[in-house]
Amino acid sequence: MYQWDFGILWSYRWLFLNGLGVTVGFTVVIVVLGLVFGLFGAFGSLSRFRALRLTALAFIEAFRCTPILVQLIWFYYALPILAGVEMTPITASALALSLYGGSFYSEIIRGGIISIDKGQSEAGAALGMTPSQSMRRIVLPQAIKRMIPALMNQSIIQFKNTSLVSVLAVPDLVYQSQVAAHDSYRPLETYTAVAVAYAAILIPLTIIVRRGEKRLAVSE
Amino acid sequence: MSDTTKIEIRALRKSFGSNEVLKNINLDVAKGGVVALIGPSGSGKSTLLRCINLLVVPDGGSVRVGDTRFAFGEGTRLPDVKALAKFRATTGMVFQHFNLFPHMTTLQNVMEGPVTVRRMAKADAEKLARAQLAKVGLAEKADQYPATLSGGQKQRVAIARALAMEPDVMLFDEATSALDPELVGEVLNVMQRLASEGMTMVIVTHEIAFAREVADRLIFMRDGVVVEEGPARQVIDNPQQAATRAFLSHFHRTGALPPATPAS
């Protein structure tokens, strides 16, 4: 029987905290950037202009339909050769994860917008609103409420996806725990603790999301 | 340009795919006139109504409301979004399913057009909106959300919302068709009062008795063409075309309007 000894992890506490800080900070960056890409993707795919629609669709499908691990490696190793730009592992992985997340956010935002009854924008138009006025005043305020649970869900997935940046040697929680595991010869304790750390952050978040969904169901 | 004709539609055509829903429609509505459009479902009457404020863009012909005229078809350019918005601001529309904004209170619904489109100061818009709500008998519902109102109340708010833009023309798209029978009267009452105040109105309706009382002209459409038109009472009491007779035979044509608590 394996003798568990979590005590030895204590000496690596600063390493773990550092890693956790990078993971959380990284998540904030890719969620914010991802939402920006998502907005462009969503409005592009709903545009009146065919060229814009096709571009947005190509972006969404390219990133939705390839694995994020492949994208990370491709952005770091292949893109610099093709485009002639050097990227640090952090830039490459932030870009890849933001675009990947953005493709999913696009679909959530687009879905939220088209879920609003067409009569709403018609009523806006009948009052004399331009399409952008009715989007801003009528459609978006209703659509955002519906999008929030799905956006939160996708952001939770993004938080977990940051664990993949360790393959590019970005010093996140997983990367630092690899260091700790190699150093201590205690991989079981190390990775168990890492799993617990992710869950300890995400479980409260999922509870908040679920509450939000319930409140949404009541108000509709 | 005529002073007495408020709406003038010429040679209007519209197809959805291979389905031609409007075939060469001509329509004149006098200033202060009330025209009722009747006909079986799929006759094109709602599409015609939606062409008047260009919610549906015609394929050919022309539409004039007041001093603004748009022509459609080959060799014409579609009006840009700004011109369309400006044009629509002068016509009010009331929808079958109300289409109130659920995230706004009744008062905010009515203020929305004046504030966003006419750039009116909030305080002025609120005064205007409260006056319009009082006019449809719903002053005390100002701070409630649409979800808490009955169908008849919702539709009266929708009328107040359209009137807050102080339009020259009001378009009603089956405004009472989604209502429980006992709520129809309160909406028709508001519409009747509006007509008596001299509002130019085009009404798509199945309320034949109402059309007979309130409209001065009646147009019967079928399969995208005007089959018969004339003074409302004359067409309803004594239809000339077989198709009109067949359609009207499904309705009680006369009698008082449904009873309602007067909206004051």
pLDDT of residue A220: 56
- What is the rounded end-to-end Cα distance, in angstroms, of chain B? 38
The CA distance from B163 to the nearest CA of chain A, in Å, is 10
Residues of B in contact with A128 (CB under 8 A): 85-90, 113, 117-118, 165
Task: Note whether A126 contacts B92, CB cutoff 8 Å.
Answer: yes
- What is the pairing mode between strands B5-16 and B19-30? antiparallel
Q: Which residue of B has its CA nearest to A139?
A: B101
CA–CA distance, A195 with A177 (Å, rounded to integer)? 11
Contact A167, A73 (CB under 8 A): yes
Nearest-CB residue to A130 (from B55, B82, B162): B82
Contact B34, B215 (CB under 8 A): yes
Residues of B in contact with A123 (CB under 8 A): 93, 95, 99-101, 158
Residues of A in contact with B91 (CB under 8 A): 126
- What is the pairing mode between strands B217-222 and B34-38? parallel
Q: Which two tokens stand for residue A130?
A: 């331009």
pLDDT of residue A3: 87
The CA distance from B185 to the nearest CA of chain A, in Å, is 23
Q: What is chain A's length?
A: 220
pLDDT higher for A213 or A181?
A181
Q: Is B97 part of the contact surface with chain A (CB cutoff 8 Å)?
A: yes
Task: Note whether B85 contacts A125, CB cutoff 8 Å.
Answer: yes
* Beta bridge mates, B30: B5
Residues of B in contact with A125 (CB under 8 A): 55, 84-85, 88
User: B205: burial class by Cβ within 10 Å (0-12, 13-18, 19+)?
Assistant: buried
Long-range contacts of range A211-219, CB-CB < 8 Å, 24 or more positions apart?
A: A212/A148, A212/A149, A212/A152, A213/A149, A216/A145, A216/A146, A216/A148, A216/A149, A219/A145
Tell me the per-residue pLDDT of B95-138, one tens digit each, with 9 for 90 and over. 999 999 999 999 999 999 999 999 999 999 999 999 999 999 99
User: A96: burial class by Cβ within 10 Å (0-12, 13-18, 19+)?
Assistant: buried
Identity at A54, one-letter amino acid code: L
DSSP string, B176-242: TTTS-HHHHHHHHHHHHHHHHTT-EEEEE-S-HHHHHHH-SEEEEEETTEEEEEEEHHHHHHS--SH
Q: Which domains does chain B have, with CATH numbers?
A: 5-253 (3.40.50.300)
Of A153-167, A179-193, B88-102, B248-262, minimum mean pLDDT range: B248-262
Q: Is A144 part of the contact surface with chain B (CB cutoff 8 Å)?
A: no
* Percentage of chain A exceeding pLDDT 70: 98
Task: Note whether B81 contacts A119, CB cutoff 8 Å.
Answer: no
Average pLDDT, chain A: 92
Angstrom CA distances, B43 to A51, A62, B37, B148, stand at 37, 45, 10, 34
Q: Is B52 part of the contact surface with chain A (CB cutoff 8 Å)?
A: no
pLDDT of residue B250: 85
CA–CA distance, B10 with A35 (Å, rounded to integer)? 48
How high is the mean pLDDT in each 10-residue block of chain B (264 residues)?
81 94 94 94 93 94 93 86 93 96 96 96 96 95 95 96 96 93 91 94 93 93 94 93 91 63 47
Contact B61, B13 (CB under 8 A): yes
The 8-class DSSP code of residue A138 comes to I
Q: Tell me the whole-structure pTM to 2 decimals.
A: 0.85
Angstrom CA distances, B143 to A62, B139, B218, stand at 48, 9, 38
Tell me the per-residue pLDDT of A54-72, one tens digit each, with 9 for 90 and over. 999 999 999 999 999 999 9
pLDDT of residue B264: 42
Residue B7 host element (H or E):
strand B5-16
Contact B6, B169 (CB under 8 A): yes
Q: Is B109 part of the contact surface with chain A (CB cutoff 8 Å)?
A: no
Q: Which domains does chain A have, with CATH numbers?
A: 6-217 (1.10.3720.10)
Identity at B7, one-letter amino acid code: I
Q: How many residue contacts between A and B have a Cβ separation below 8 Å?
A: 66
Q: Is A216 part of the contact surface with chain B (CB cutoff 8 Å)?
A: no
Q: Is A127 part of the contact surface with chain B (CB cutoff 8 Å)?
A: yes
pLDDT higher for A200 or A1?
A200
* Beta bridge mates, B71: B62
Nearest-CB residue to B165 (from A128, A130, A141): A128
Q: Is A55 part of the contact surface with chain B (CB cutoff 8 Å)?
A: no
pLDDT of residue B10: 95
Residues of A in contact with B97 (CB under 8 A): 119
The CA distance from A36 to the nearest CA of chain B, in Å, is 25
Tell me the per-residue pLDDT of A6-21, one tens digit each, with 9 for 90 and over. 888 888 899 999 999 9
3 state DSSP class of B132: helix
Q: Which of B174, B207, B171, B210 is nearest to B192 (CA)?
A: B210
The CA distance from A136 to the nearest CA of chain B, in Å, is 10
CA–CA distance, B138 with B129 (Å, rounded to integer)? 11
* Percentage of chain B exceeding pLDDT 90: 86
Q: How confident is the model at residue A208 (pLDDT cuts 50, 70, 90)?
A: confident
pLDDT of residue A48: 87
pLDDT of residue B3: 60
pLDDT of residue A216: 73
